[in-house]
């Protein structure tokens, strides 16, 4: 059974919401002629309706299923993906965040996420904040411009609200539920994470850029 694709501004492609459904475990990492094949097991995520060719986000990276069973799936990871994400760090028994592609009619619990990672960030600090955790990340300067206070950002596949921004660093608050249901509660300073910025920020920049370069002419 193939997955239904969400509509993204007139295009159809796999989309996600940044609401992690399960965190699974890497069962096998198989090097193949310069790239990798991953086998990922799930704990409670039901893969009964997932078939070959469907998409699954693994730590925020959209991968295509090439084989699957009731509690596992297999996906190839290209050289390009290994170069621009943290998936090259995966090893056997590593925990990963999992989300199935959004289907037509599914609730949009987080924000629209493409599964195309924009860059790799690094954990700067982590400390308790009452029952939550406050995490600070540093991202490449080219991405920092798209991160705004109270805006959305995706870290390792998890939709988060930005609490504060300082230069190329931003803070988020991880509530107890998110700590328990995702791998973010295991992060420590120095760890690398996949970051996807809010797509609306890119569209806004594009529109503003076009407006500045090509002022709208008055009509009759």
- Fold of the domain spanning 119-206: Elongation Factor Tu (Ef-tu); domain 3 (2.40.30)
| pLDDT of res. 1 | 30
| pLDDT of res. 167 | 94
- Tell which CATH architecture fits domain 6-100: Beta Barrel (2.40)
Global pTM? Answer: 0.85
Burial 87-107 (b: 16+ CB within 10 A, else e): beebeeebebbbbbbbeeeee
Helix, strand, coil percentages in the chain from 3-state DSSP, rounded to 5? 15, 45, 40
The SS3 call for residue 19 is coil
| pLDDT of res. 218 | 39
| pLDDT of res. 59 | 97
Domain coordinates in residue numbering, the chain? 6-100, 119-206
Same fold, 6-100 and 119-206: yes
173 burial level (CB within 10 Å; 0-12, 13-18, 19+): middle
User: What are the mean pLDDT values of the chain's consecutive 10-residue runs (220 residues total)?
Assistant: 38 75 94 95 89 95 95 96 96 96 67 87 96 97 91 94 96 94 96 90 69 43
Alpha carbon 41 to its chain's center = 18
Is residue 39 within 8 A of residue 27, CB to CB? The reply is yes
């Amino acid at each position: 059974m193939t997955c239904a694709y969400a509509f993204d501004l007139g295009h159809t492609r796999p989309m996600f919401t940044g609401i992690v459904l399960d965190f699974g475990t890497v069962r096998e990492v198989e090097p193949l002629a310069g790239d990798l094949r991953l086998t990922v097991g799930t704990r409670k995520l039901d893969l009964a309706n997932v078939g070959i060719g469907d998409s699954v986000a693994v730590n925020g990276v959209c991968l295509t299923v090439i084989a699957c069973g009731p509690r596992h799936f297999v996906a190839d990871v290209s050289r390009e993906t290994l170069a621009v994400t943290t998936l090259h760090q995966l090893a056997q028994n590593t925990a990963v965040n999992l989300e199935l592609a959004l289907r037509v009619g599914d609730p949009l619990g987080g924000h629209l996420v493409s599964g195309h990672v924009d860059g790799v960030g690094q954990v700067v600090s982590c400390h308790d904040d009452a029952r939550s955790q406050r995490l600070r990340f540093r991202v490449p300067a080219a991405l920092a411009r798209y991160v705004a206070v109270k805006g959305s950002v995706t870290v390792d596949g998890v939709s988060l609200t930005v609490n504060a921004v300082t230069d190329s660093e931003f803070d988020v608050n991880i509530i107890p539920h998110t700590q328990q249901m995702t791998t973010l509660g295991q992060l420590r300073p120095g760890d690398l994470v996949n970051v996807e910025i809010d797509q609306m920020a890119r569209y806004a920049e594009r529109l503003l850029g076009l407006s500045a370069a090509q002022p709208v002419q008055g009509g009759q």
